[in-house]
Structure 1
Amino acid sequence: MDNEMLQLMVEKISIESFGLPFAHEATFNPRLRTTGGRYLLRSHNLEFNPKHYDEYGLDELTGIIKHELCHYHLHIKGKGYKHRDQDFKTLLNRVGGSRYCQVVPGQRRTEKVKHIYQCSDCQASYRRKRRIDTKRFVCGKCRGKLFKTS
């Protein structure tokens, strides 16, 4: 699927599900990593992650399109377009859009903890990616001495 087909699909879903036209641009953005799509507030354009379409197909992409169109139409009307707003939740349920998208394998990075430090006094544990100088830093809870456990 290319950007032209995506644009036509977004316009069609907007008319069928919302009864309102989509008058801006919808494109694939391969740089998106942790999200299925996004609504750009200033330009009113929509961007979608092509990896979601490649991995999960048309049904997943349709749910993401409906989700982003909810943001779009509510923002243009001046209503609550954020995830926490009741207007958004109500419209999303009415049109059958997806609340969350699937995780694309290999896209989300897991945090790599390399160093674990523990306080000698209160036994508080600190997980860090980077090494810290135990002569210079102390426990943030009780100011006790830290030592490296692994």
Structure 2
Amino acid sequence: MTFTDKTIQKLTEDLSLRFFERPFLHKVYVNKRLRTTGGRYMLQSHHIEVNEKYIEAYGEEELIGILKHELCHYHLHLQGKGYRHSDQDFKALLKKTGSPRHCRPLPGLTQTVKRGIVICYSCSACGIRYERHRRINTTKYVCGVCKGMLKEINE
């Protein structure tokens, strides 16, 4: 099934009434420029934007999860309650409605370095050791002490 702004609007209104027992009175639409998130609730306009890449990759089930998550932000914000990810009101409403806390990662988009992994570099001139969480370009960057060439150490 292809999703247009109109069908997503109808789906959001239905989900809002079914899971939150409140109407959704604003707009929801696809934003093709979103890259790292499945959806976004706009605090000032109260609109919801959805990433079309998630719809294409995972379909209706993931779209429903994204919309329910954003509706949690929407309804709590309009009620003046804690709508942020760290707020207890938000966590409780996610649990009550069965909404996901996070989206699944998009296929093909992987982080170059995961947390906890450390890449070690050593200066070929003075031997100083550098530990980084992200890779660095050893042809561009040099040792900060003696300006010697850096090389990656595989441990």
For 2:71 and 2:91, the matched residues in 1 are separated by 13
Displacement of 1:107: 4.1
* Residues 50-84 of structure 1: per-residue CA shift (max 9 Å, x gap): 12122111111111100000000011111110001
For 1:2 and 1:91, the matched residues in 2 are separated by 27
For 1:1-150, what aligned pairs fall within 5 Å after superposition?
A: 1-107=3-109, 110=112, 117-119=121-123, 120=126, 122-126=128-132, 127-129=135-137, 131-134=140-143, 137-138=144-145, 147-150=149-152
Residues paired across the two proteins, number: 140
Alignment-mate amino acid for residue 128 of structure 1: I
Alignment-mate amino acid for residue 7 of structure 2: M
For 1:96 and 1:49, the matched residues in 2 are separated by 20
For 1:145 and 1:77, the matched residues in 2 are separated by 58
Cα distance change on mapping 1:133 and 1:97 into 2, 3 Å:
same
For 2:9 and 2:121, the matched residues in 1 are separated by 52
TM-score after normalising by structure 2: 0.79
For 1:129 and 1:123, the matched residues in 2 are separated by 16
For 2:85 and 2:148, the matched residues in 1 are separated by 41
Query: 5+ unaligned residues in a row in structure 1: which ranges?
Result: 139-143
Aligned match of 2:117: none
For 2:62 and 2:50, the matched residues in 1 are separated by 11
Whether contact under 8 Å (1:30, 1:49) holds in the other structure is: yes
For 1:66 and 1:2, the matched residues in 2 are separated by 18
The alignment-based identity, stated in percent, is 45
Displacement of 1:125: 3.2
For 1:16 and 1:129, the matched residues in 2 are separated by 52
TM-score after normalising by structure 1: 0.82
Cα RMSD, aligned residues only: 2.3
| More deviation, 70-79/102-111 | 102-111
For 1:45 and 1:118, the matched residues in 2 are separated by 50
For 2:51 and 2:130, the matched residues in 1 are separated by 41
